[in-house]
Amino acid sequence: MTQHYNQFGQPVGPAMPDWSERPLPGKVTIDGDYCRIEPLDAARHGNDLFQAWEQAADGRDWTWLLAEPFNSVDAFLAYIEQSVKGQDPRHYAVIDRRSGKAVGTLALMRQQPQHGVIEVGHVTFSPLLKQSPLSSEAQFLLMRYVFDTLGYRRYEWKCDSLNAPSRRAALRLGFSYEGTFRQALVYKGRSRDTAWFSIIDSEWPLTKKALSQWLAATNFDAQGKQRNSLATLRQRLAGE
């Protein structure tokens, strides 16, 4: 990487004379082949989401979330209504296009439009969505919106450092691990070290191409099994 210096001979970052503040994420609907992303709404999505979470055998999926499992649909609806009042986080529902039902949620948060930095968080995927093309496409659609439509420079993923499934998901999707912030939070009565991951705009074209190829119908056989893993596709494209 080329090193830049100021008039005092000190090393500085590259100049960005054409940079301007990015738009905030909006109440958009984004269609994919397997799923649709749309603004989260308690009345429209709450019952579907509550029923989707009832498919889980236990409450382990809530261990690293800020909330606990909800015992009633009314409590869950109240939680959603409170969550969507502001614009940061901006919450979205993930809709299974085959069933037309909401099967998970995620959000764009810690929005820094002046720097072009944003984080994907509050990822709450039900058993009806996890480990399926829907979950990967939901993440892809939001990434594409942030980089291609809004023009952000940096897309972050953060999780409890002990949350191994979240760490694996970040690396699989193409995020780079940047380090761990020790004792970053106290939640649910316990201390949390936070692992940081990111994709930056220069990495997005390769990440986008790999995800697009992985999500293509031709990458799955008649039983829905992948022909090529996302890691294999990314390595192949990186070598071209």
Q: How far apart are CA 237 and CA 122, in angstroms?
A: 30
What's the pLDDT tens digit per position in 160-195?
A: 999 999 999 999 999 999 999 999 999 999 999 999
Query: Tell me, what's the pLDDT at 1?
Result: 74
What's the pLDDT tens digit per position in 80-106?
A: 999 999 999 999 999 999 999 999 999
What torsion do the CA atoms of 100, 61, 163, 65 make, to the nearest 10 degrees? 80
Q: Name the pLDDT band for 156 (thresholds 50, 70, 90).
A: very high
For residue 112, what are its two tokens?
Answer: 């820094």
Query: 210, 26, 25: which is closest to 116 by C-alpha?
Result: 25
Query: Tell me, what's the pLDDT at 131?
Result: 73
What's the pLDDT tens digit per position in 136-154?
A: 999 999 999 999 999 999 9
Asked if 118 and 25 touch (Cβ cutoff 8 Å), the reply is yes
Which residues are within 8 A (CB) of 27 and not within 5 positions of it... i.e. 6 or more apart? 39, 90
Query: 129, 64, 124, 134: which is closest to 89 by C-alpha?
Result: 124
Give Cα 2 distance to the centre of its chain.
Answer: 31
Q: For the domain 24-238, what is the CATH superfamily, name and number?
A: Gcn5-related N-acetyltransferase (GNAT) (3.40.630.30)
Q: Which residues of 133-166 are buried (b: 16+ CB within 10 A; e: fewer)?
A: bbbbbbbbbbbbbbbeebebbbbbbbbbbebeeb
Q: Name the pLDDT band for 45 (thresholds 50, 70, 90).
A: very high
What's the pLDDT tens digit per position in 200-240?
A: 999 999 999 999 999 999 999 998 899 999 999 999 999 88
Query: Tell me, what's the pLDDT at 166?
Result: 97
